[in-house]
Amino acid sequence: MNRKYRKTVIAGNWKMNQLNSGVKPFIEELKANMPKARNCDVVLCTPAVMIQAMVRAGKDCRVAAGGQDVSKFEKGAYTGEISADMLVDVGAKYCIVGHSERREYHHESDSLVNEKAKALLSRGIVPIICVGESLEQREKELTMSYVAYQVRAALAGIDAAQIRRCIIAYEPIWAIGTGRTATAEQAQEVCSEIRSVIRKLYGARSARAVSILYGGSMNAKNAAELLAMPDIDGGLIGGASLKPVDFAAIVAATAQE
Ligand code: PEP
């Protein structure tokens, strides 16, 4: 973390879990376990139908609401889609794009991820842009080149003012939901490479202003070590974000430097 230049962000990804009725009790338990002094932004990205409940309940605990996906289209005949305007309308401040589960199960391409990120930026929502390599790519030593390519593709046409409002989440696919976390050194190496790609595209001042998160089996036990790395500015957390005590402990880990 480097708090001098950029924000620390702890974002949860509930995926397709929870129900509206569970949001308030979750936030109450989270609040009871949350550290008193907090020096990071906390976000919970819920299914779209729970965003309003999260906005209402989250106010009590300084937790912002986020979506997990957005349409690249502004409006119209796109059954089942949710537009950036609709996310704004229900109070979302952040939205994940390019999660590996969407890339895999919904065949989302890098150019679609880029269009979605731009749709969010045009409406003032912070895109949390996910990138990350497969195990096969890591074993073939393609991690750096592949992640650099994904970052460049996701940021195409995004200008210098907008890049400061983007968050990049490095999520090695082999670490998501597997209990197998990247070592702090592995995660730092890739996050540093992501920052260097941003530096080449936008210059040093922009690069040091962008928050880069690590995601992939981050939990209450390993968070502090990962967050101590200079280019890891927070976490995108799946499984552990469904447990208020664990999620609060990850937030607390941002205080340990
Ligand atoms: C994720 O889905 O973004 C994620 C990081 O999941 P988990 O923490 O469960 O690995």
> Is residue 194 within 8 Å of residue 207, measured between CB atoms?
no
**Residue to mutate (ligand 1; options 213, 218, 250; most atoms within 8 A of CB):** 218
How much is the mean pLDDT over the chain? 96
pLDDT tens digit sequence for 85-129: 999 999 999 999 999 999 999 999 999 999 999 999 999 999 999
pLDDT attached to residue 253: 95
The CATH number linked to 118 is: 3.20.20.70
Task: Mark residue 179 as left, alpha or beta (left: phi above 0; alpha: psi -120 to 50; beta: remaining).
Answer: left
> Is residue 223 within 8 Å of residue 8, measured between CB atoms?
no
DSSP 79: T
Q: Is 99 a catalytic residue?
A: yes
Q: Does 191 map to a domain?
A: yes
Total domain count for the chain? 1
Mapped onto helix, strand or coil, the DSSP state of residue 181 is coil
Q: Which of 29, 98, 81 is nearest to 60 (CA)?
A: 29
Measured in Å, residue 14 CA sits from the centre of ligand 1 at 9
Q: Does 4 map to a domain?
A: no
pLDDT tens digit sequence for 142-184: 999 999 999 999 999 999 999 999 999 999 999 998 888 899 9
| Mean pLDDT computed over 70-92 | 98
Q: Does 1 map to a domain?
A: no
Q: Does 92 map to a domain?
A: yes
- Helices 244-253 + 20-33 axis angle, to 10: 40
**Residue to mutate (ligand 1; options 95, 180, 236; most atoms within 8 A of CB):** 236
- Catalytic hit among 29, 171, 193, 257: 171
Q: Which domain holds residue 89?
A: 9-253
Atom of ligand 1 nearest to the CA of 235: 5
pLDDT attached to residue 257: 58
How many CA atoms within 13 Å lie on the side-chain side of 1? Answer: 22
pLDDT attached to residue 37: 82
Q: Is 171 a catalytic residue?
A: yes
- Give percent above pLDDT 90 in the chain: 93
- Helices 51-58 + 20-33 axis angle, to 10: 30
Q: Does 59 map to a domain?
A: yes
Q: HEC string of 110-160?
A: HHHHHHHHHHHHHCCCEEEEEECCCHHHHHCCCHHHHHHHHHHHHCCCCCH
| Mean pLDDT computed over 227-244 | 97
For ligand 1, atom 1, name the residue with the nearest CA: 238
Prediction pTM value: 0.97
- Give percent above pLDDT 70 in the chain: 100
Tell me the C-alpha distance between 241 and 15, whole Å. Answer: 10
Measured in Å, residue 76 CA sits from the centre of ligand 1 at 32
Q: Does 2 map to a domain?
A: no
